[in-house]
Every structure is written in structure tokens, then in C-alpha cells.
Amino acid sequence: MRDWLEDRRPDVVGLQEMRCPADQVPELDGYHVSHHLGDIPGRNGVAVLSRTAPTAVRLGTGSREFDREGRYIEVDLDLGEGRPDLTVGSLYLPKGGTPYEDEASRSKYERKMRFCRHFRSYLTRARRGAQRAGREFLVIGDWNVAPTELDLRNWRTNRRSEGFLPEERAWIASIQSPRTLIDVVRMLHPDTNGPYSWWSWRGQSFANDTGWRIDHQLASPALAAAAVVGGTDREPTYEARKSDHSPVVVDYDL
């Protein structure tokens, strides 16, 4: 990851599934590291790395059920030099389950949908708050939902799989509109299969590009309009992978 950071030199990075205690979060040259690791050892955890020191950091969304898990962090960044101020969130949405299988899977499905309903309400408040403060708003992260048939290779065989259920797709569509939040990578690639951001470790999924696009950047309209180029930094080989996800990167002309 350090090699990728040095090569790409992004201004802002969102991390998910850090899975470590605070004393194992490394210092990274040139970055301020804000994190919300939760209190479940070895699971979850989110962070925002920024070259600009945040003026405010907010942990969680006010949920008694989910905030202890370290699933969302939000920072305010004042960029200066005539550039817009930003509010940036890093999200790790629960993977979930399906209502078609055993009780454990149904429970995971119901839990994911509870999080989704709560997070939709939170997003509305946060987005409007940023707007009132004169800030652009951006949520980046692992959303664990492929919104459309363009967003996974084998969509026909996954219509009853978590991450592509009709309820999940309807939910992520409901938080987007030209006046609220815009899926920036899809805006830049309106008719493309992918670009995928997650591949199973198993089999030949990565080699055959049998992936899912479940990592998204949802931006306020003016910020989305500033996007110049974006997509997935897919590693050249299976052995070079940093994770089962690859970084989703967007350049904004601010």
C-alpha cells in the first residue's frame, strides 16, 4: 500500500475493513490519519487519510446498534487556495445475507437493511448540513451493493445474492439524484461493464475479471461535475493484490 500511495499521491484516501487496534495503525508520511476502529477485535474499522489536517472529525452516525462497529467516519477539510471546502465520509456497509436461505442469512439481510434505512436518514442530514456550511459532500467506501447489471459480470446468476438483491439496489438508487448525490464513476463510465473493484480470492475470478463494482464515490452535484477521470486501480497480477478490493480513484479538478 505504501508503494501505491507514493506512486498515486492522492490528496484524500478512504480505508475500510482496517481490522486492527489503534496501536497498529501506522503513521504514513504526508498524511493525517483519522480513524474509527470500533470495539470488535479484528473486524471492521474505517479511516480517512488526508494531506490537509481535518478541521473536524465525526465518528459514526448516531446509531446505538452500529456505531460501536466502526463503520463510518466523516471529516471536514478546508483546502484553501480558492478550492471548495469538503466534507468526506468513509463507509463500510455491512455485507449482509439473503432472505432466501437459513435463519442466520436472513438475520444478516435484515440487519443490513436496518443499517441502510438508518444511513439514508443520516446521509440526508449530513448532506444538507454540509450544504448549509458551504461544503461539498463526498462519501467513499465499500458499499457492498452493485447498483445495476453493468456492475457485476455474472448478474444473471446473482439475482438472489447479497449485494445484488432488488431491495439493496432500490435503496442505493433512492439516495441518488441529480440534486443530491451522484455515483461519480458511473457518471464517467455510463455504458461500461464495471469498472469492477472487487474479485473473489477463489478460482480465476481476478484473472478472468469476473468482478463486482461495489466500491463507490457518491458526490454532491458540483463536486461530481468537477470529476475529470476515474476508475479502478486494478493490480496487474493476482499476486500483486493488496486486498480482494482494488482502489477506486477519481481526480477532481478543484
pLDDT digits 0-9 by tens, 76-123: 999 988 999 999 999 999 999 999 999 999 999 999 999 999 999 999
CATH of the domain at 25: 3.60.10.10
Interatomic CA distance for residues 85 and 93, integer angstroms: 25
Tell me, what DSSP letter sits at residue 27?
P
Residue pLDDT, tens place only, 156-208: 999 999 999 999 999 999 999 999 999 999 999 999 999 999 999 999 999 99
Interatomic CA distance for residues 228 and 216, integer angstroms: 16
Residue pLDDT, tens place only, 217-226: 999 999 999 9
81: containing domain: 2-252
Q: Which three cell numbers stand for residue 218?
A: 457518491
Q: Is the pTM of this model over 0.85?
A: yes
* Domain count for the chain: 1
Residue among 144, 151, 234 nearest 190 (CA): 151
